[in-house]
Chains A and B, each alone.
Chain A
Amino acid sequence: MIAIGERINGMFTVVKDAIAAHDPRPIQELARQQAAAGAAYLDINIGTAAADQEGTMKWLVETVQAAVATPLCLDSQKPAVIKAGLSVCDTSRGVLLNSSPLNRKSDPDVLTKYASMAMEAGGGLIALTMDSGGVPQNVDRRVEIAAEILTKAMELGMMPEKLFIDPIILPVNVPGAQAQPGNILAAIDQIRLMSDPPPHITMGLSNLSQGTAERPLINRTFMIMAISHGCDSAILDVLDDVLVDAVATAEMLMNKQIYSDSFVKAYRSTSGAQR
């Protein structure tokens, strides 16, 4: 599975404080820990930690890639911030852009902008199954949007293996949202039939358990459910050992890894890029 480490995000206090203090050490430590835990990419998200988003993105990119060789996943809803990150990013390692909806009222061509930047960098793109109408509440609209994204990406020359569809997980405890995890699984089933090879399926896993009790348990359980439907990537906490071991087991049970008595150890000894 293509694991994208979620921890370098301004929503976490330690990262927010480090950004404010311009202290690279806590950020680099998180980068090293996540790389060692098998992250294939490291997500870089400023959150609300800084007013100067473009400058902060550059600083984070430079700080992280000075510490580890892991490729980065530049995470911002603003094309200008992504562009700033790319300007200093070593894309020869690979890169992911995170993320674009199909379109926005304020920016109908947002997907084209993100896809063009991704292709120019030789990287991949995470695209959300949402559009100017917001996040769909049912299966069919999610699938329709995914189809429109895939078509648009291919028209632009981006092959499905570079495209990561994110069906958007919302917190399960939001009123009325409890049907969404099941809808997402049903949508994944259909999205994976759209092309051969299919686009990757990814998700911001921890969002599901925002504000709930039993956060790790909810995250781990849904991750396994999603893998069983063909999800092959997630933005997640790779430092959660139980979660990573559960992923290893789910992938083995889905015949993605050849079983051996030491299958967990085998998975852990495999680099993030090859898992």
Chain B
Amino acid sequence: MPLPASGMNYTGSVNTVTLGGGRRKTTVTVGGAKTVPYGGPRAACGHRPAIAIDVLDAPPEGWPAPLAEAYAGVLGDPAAWARKAVEEFGADLVCVKFDGVHPDKGNLGADHAVDVTRRVLDAVGVPLVLWGCDNAEKDNAVMPKISEAAKGEKVLLGTVTQDNYKNLTALALADGHFLIAEAPLDINIAKQVNILVSDMGFPLERLVMYQTTGALGYGMEYAYSIQERERLAALGSDKLMAAPLICDVGTEAWGAKEARATSEQAPQWGDAARRGPAWEAVTAVTLLQSGVDILRMRHPTAVATVRRYLDRLWGTKA
């Protein structure tokens, strides 16, 4: 009697997404896993996760010193900031986050957003993630211009939600971009957003899912378990849940008081210059275990730590 095979045979896989086109000098391919994260044969693990470094369209307010110091001199210049992220810190992708157009954070207009988009596209050769301000009304006004300015570059546009998806989906379809489908830590809504977007004729193969992200100590386990379940759904051939995943580690980790508090405010927690990056790096590597494919990150030390971790895990250099 033969020994029964003990391995799990999954029938499905995570979609493979390749970002970057047009004038991009590199492309980034993520997804493709046919097994649980780091749980099966090497050949089934798909593509190595990618790191996107955040570049803000306008100088950030209230960034803790370790973060602000890492980008000293470029915080008001998105193009220089993007170059630094790629050339010095080795970003696979640049994520331009348009906080400055938010009505409460500067209320800058579409002209500004287009200008930033063009300058960053000119400054770096890596693929871009272009992420709105998370105010539906303003995003609907500004994102069409951003999408058009990046036409043909196969960027990752974000985000569409259950309540606001038609505009951006139509744009991404027309301009050849990829889309981030967002759900508020809710796997059922995540599936619904994907269905809605797909109903508009947008290919599921051009979607990346964003479950919102919790940092270490701030609900990371919710994001973790949902992402874990999404991976299992993809492996079980649920085509509606097979998109790769993106996490916003930088924003969330640096929102935690454990990362933000200065050495003077919390001397018992150790040196703030090391604590913040550590908080970000631990959040990132933990979420990697749940199957995330693209990490949005901020601090160069955290980025370097996670990259070393990925190098060891994958036995390759990015």
Contact of B195 among A161, A195, A265, A274 (CB under 8 A): A265
Say which residue of A161, A195, A258 sits within 8 Å of B241 (CB atoms): A258
Do B239 and A259 touch (CB < 8 A)? no
A262 to B1, CA, bound (A): 46
Which of A159, A160, A261 has the most chain B CB atoms inside 10 A of its CB? A261
Tell me, yes or no, whether A242 is within 8 Å of chain B by CB: no
Residues of chain A in range 142-157 having any CB-CB distance to chain B below 8 Å = 154-155, 157
How far, in Å, is A71 (CB) from chain B's closest CB?
A: 14
Interface residues of B in 1-55 (CB under 8 A from A): 1-2, 4-5, 9, 11-12
Option from A161, A269, A274 in Cβ contact (under 8 Å) with B237? A274
Closest to B195 in A: A262
Quick check: A259 and B1 within 8 Å, CB to CB? Answer: no
Give Cα distance in the complex from A265 to B189, angstroms.
15
The digit string for B219-239, where 1 denotes a CB below 8 A from any CB of A, is 000000000010001000111
Cα A121 to Cα B188 in complex, Å, equals 40
- Expressed in whole angstroms, the minimum distance between the Cβ of B36 and any Cβ of chain A is 16
Report B-chain residues with C-beta under 8 Å of the C-beta of A154.
1-2, 4
Asked if residues A260 and B237 are in contact (CB atoms below 8 Å), the reply is: no
CB of A257 within 8 Å of the partner chain: yes
Q: A155-B1, A159-B5 are in contact. Are A257 and B188 (CB under 8 A)?
A: no
- Cα(A50)–Cα(B252), bound, Å: 70
Please list the residues of chain B having a beta carbon within 8 angstroms of any beta carbon in chain A: 1-2, 4-5, 9, 11-12, 187-189, 191-192, 195-196, 229, 233, 237-241
User: Across the interface, do B5 and A266 meet the contact criterion of CB distance under 8 Å?
Assistant: no
Chain A residues, Cβ within 8 Å of B196? 262
| Inter-chain CB contacts under 8 Å: number | 44
Is the Cβ of B2 less than 8 Å from the Cβ of A259? no
Among A159, A195, A266, A274: residue with most chain B CB under 10 A: A266
Contacts of A258 in B (CB 8 A): 187-188, 191, 229, 233, 238, 241
Known: A161-B9, A274-B239. 9 other contacts (CB 8 A): A154-B2, A154-B4, A159-B5, A195-B4, A260-B188, A260-B195, A262-B196, A266-B195, A270-B238
Q: Chain B: interface secondary structure?
A: helix
**Residues from chain B with Cβ under 8 Å of A160 in the complex:** 4
Question: Interface residues of A toward B: which range?
Answer: 10 to 19
> Judging by beta carbons under 8 Å apart, are A261 and B1 in contact?
no
Q: How far is the CA of A155 from the CA of B4 in the complex (A)?
A: 10
A residues within 8 A CB of B239?
270, 274
Q: What are 12 of the A-B contact pairs (CB < 8 Å)?
A: A154-B1, A154-B2, A159-B4, A161-B9, A258-B241, A259-B188, A260-B189, A262-B196, A266-B240, A274-B11, A274-B12, A274-B239
Query: Contact: B192 with A262, CB < 8 Å?
Result: yes
Q: What residues of B have a CB within 8 angstroms of the CB of A155 in the complex?
A: 1
Q: What chain B residues lie within 8 Å of A157 (beta carbons)?
A: 2
Please, which residue of chain A has its CB at the minimum distance from the CB of B237? Answer: A274
Chain B neighbourhood of A159, CB < 8 A = 4-5
Shortest C-beta distance, B204 to chain A (Å), equals 10
Task: Provide the A232-275 mask, 1 if CB < 8 A to any CB of B, else 0.
Answer: 00000000000000000000000001111110011001100010
Contact status B191-A266, CB under 8 Å: yes
**In the complex the two chains form, what is the Cα distance from A259 to B240 in whole Å?**
11
A195 contacts which chain B residues (CB < 8 A)?
4
